[in-house]
Amino acid sequence: MLRHVAHRLRLANLPVLRRRDFRLLLGGQAVSVLGDRIVAVALAFAVLEIGGSPSDVGLVLAAGVLPLVASVLVGGVVADRASRRAVMVLADLVRVVSQGTMAALLLMGVARVWMLALLAGVTGVATGFFSPATIGLVPAIVPAEELQSANALRSSAISAGGILGPVAAGVLVAVAGAGWAIMADALTFAVSVACLALLRLPQHVTLPSSPFLTDLREGWFAFRSRKWVWSVVAYFAVGNIVWSAWNVLGPVIAERDLGGAAAWGTALAAVGAGALIGSLLATQVDPRRPLVFVAIADGLFAIPLACLAASPSVPLLVGGALLSGAGMTLAISVWESTLQRHIPDESLSRVSSYDWFGSLVFAPLGLAIWAPIAALIGTGVALWVAFGVAAATTLALLSVGDVRHLLATSHQDSIASS
């Protein structure tokens, strides 16, 4: 199946891949995402290498996520007001310095947990500026009819990084140590800078200057006034809370019933493989009612929760994980294209930043609640509750008229009443 999809991918995406600027953007993002996935593994081992505890590992990883969530709204305002490429280049340069400094401290043997946490926070802030600018930059180099293919290829790069990055991290950490693995991540951001610098973009139209809070409020109005936007983001927010049951309770089930870490690693790899398949399939779809497609495709993410709760077995879990990864990636590709087609360019990065913020802000809550819930009602029942919440949330999203009726082909600035 994957071979067949890949064959069709080469044909379907020939027009967008002919575009020099898109190839540069895609190449830079593919390399930097690979580095991100390397450091996600290497950073945990770096903390342990310097004598940190498991709690210190959690602290350092959280220090990278929370500043991202805190800075993404500011990043959206800046990206809509300034050159998006300039924002992305500056963010990448900051990440070159922060990750390079972290690697140097580790290689010199002077790193401390607080230093790693601080530098991870700096990297998180830079990512909070980079991500909304990326969503806004793609329509500047890709015509509307090729946006779906472009976003699907970007998702393919992310999915491939999710599969190859942990493997590369394991090899680098084992052979050279965590410091060199993190140095490799710093170099990937330098490659991204070079690719961005070579882009030939249309001249950026500078909007009249206004106070930051005014820009932030205008972005909030652009977000809030479109019922279809905030409905989907609310759905993603609940989905991230529910998905935390997989991250928290899945290893418990794997240890108790499936044979331990090897089974859990296989399930996680299946999610990554499914994401890659989904990103390839996303090049073949351009649904007439994109948000109905998003709701149904993303709803597949809950299948592994039912697999864990029902009668856990490795083959069943792998099948559910493949469907889950494919559905989530299909949904995200179509969702990004929908935003790019329907949100005016001058507000796109700010609306995207509210999307990022709303989707991620409650994720730490999900990580905190599922273990106590499982202790109270049992692990299996907790997983069924999570699955039920996911199913109910999908049905609730499909009940929203603005979600059902939005058309992919409409390029008008249709604003739904709140």
Confidence of residue 213 (pLDDT cuts 50, 70, 90): confident
Q: Which residue is listed with tokens 């796109």?
A: 348
Q: Are residues 125 and 248 in the same domain?
A: no
Question: Sign of torsion, CA 38 39 44 47?
Answer: positive
Establish if 209 belongs to a structural domain: no
Q: Is 401 exposed, middle or buried (0-12, 13-18, 19+ CB in 10 A)?
A: exposed
Confidence of residue 11 (pLDDT cuts 50, 70, 90): very low
Establish if 402 belongs to a structural domain: yes
**Domain with 23 in it: what CATH number?**
1.20.1250.20
Q: Are residues 226 and 196 in the same domain?
A: no
Q: What percent of the chain has pLDDT over 70?
A: 91
Of 193, 307, 185, 324, which Cα lies nearest the Cα of 253? 307
What confidence tens digit (pLDDT) does each residue in 341-365 have? 899 888 888 888 888 888 888 877 8
Query: What token pair was written down for 15?
Result: 């027009």
Gap between the Cα atoms of 290 and 270, Å rounded? 26
Gap between the Cα atoms of 364 and 173, Å rounded? 28
In this predicted structure, which of 17-31, 205-219, 270-284, 314-328 has the lowest mean pLDDT? 205-219
Q: Which range, 47-51, 137-141, 386-390, is most confident?
A: 386-390
Q: What percent of the chain has pLDDT over 90?
A: 32
What are the start-end ranges of the E strands in 47-201? none
Instruction: Tell me the chain's radius of gyration from C-alpha atoms.
Output: 21
Question: Sign of torsion, CA 233 237 240 242?
Answer: negative
If you average pLDDT over every residue of the chain, what do you get?
A: 84
Q: Using an 8 Å Cβ cutoff, are 31 and 191 in contact? A: yes
Q: Using an 8 Å Cβ cutoff, are 81 and 129 in contact? A: no
User: Stretch 332-349: mean pLDDT, rounded?
Assistant: 88
Q: Using an 8 Å Cβ cutoff, are 321 and 267 in contact? A: yes
Gap between the Cα atoms of 302 and 91, Å rounded? 34
Residue 156's domain comprises: 1-200
Q: Are residues 50 and 160 in the same domain?
A: yes
Q: Are residues 251 and 308 in the same domain?
A: yes
Establish if 213 belongs to a structural domain: no
Establish if 216 belongs to a structural domain: no
User: Stretch 290-297: mean pLDDT, rounded?
Assistant: 94
| pTM of the entire predicted model | 0.78
Q: Are residues 299 and 411 in the same domain?
A: yes
pLDDT of residue 157: 82
What confidence tens digit (pLDDT) does each residue in 380-398 have? 899 999 999 999 999 999 9
What confidence tens digit (pLDDT) does each residue in 80-132 have? 888 888 899 999 999 999 999 999 999 999 999 899 999 999 999 999 899 88
Q: Are residues 249 and 153 in the same domain?
A: no
Confidence of residue 14 (pLDDT cuts 50, 70, 90): low
Residue 148 pLDDT greater than 50, yes or no: yes
Residue 149 pLDDT greater than 60, yes or no: yes
Q: Are residues 176 and 88 in the same domain?
A: yes
Of 168, 200, 232, the one marking the end of a domain is 200
Cα 167 to Cα 132, 160, 164, 247, 279, distances in angstroms: 28, 11, 5, 20, 20
Q: Are residues 18 and 160 in the same domain?
A: yes
The number of folded domains in the chain is 2
Establish if 30 belongs to a structural domain: yes
Q: Is 127 exposed, middle or buried (0-12, 13-18, 19+ CB in 10 A)?
A: buried
Gap between the Cα atoms of 39 and 23, Å rounded? 24
pLDDT of residue 54: 64
Q: Are residues 186 and 258 in the same domain?
A: no
Of 166, 200, 234, the one marking the end of a domain is 200
Q: Are residues 173 and 41 in the same domain?
A: yes
Q: Are residues 146 and 246 in the same domain?
A: no
What are the start-end ranges of the E strands in 110-255? none
Amino acid at 115: M
- Residue of 45 and 237 predicted with greater confidence: 237
Establish if 215 belongs to a structural domain: no
Residue 274 pLDDT greater than 70, yes or no: yes
Q: Are residues 182 and 233 in the same domain?
A: no
DSSP 8-state class, residue 207: P
DSSP 8-state class, residue 105: H
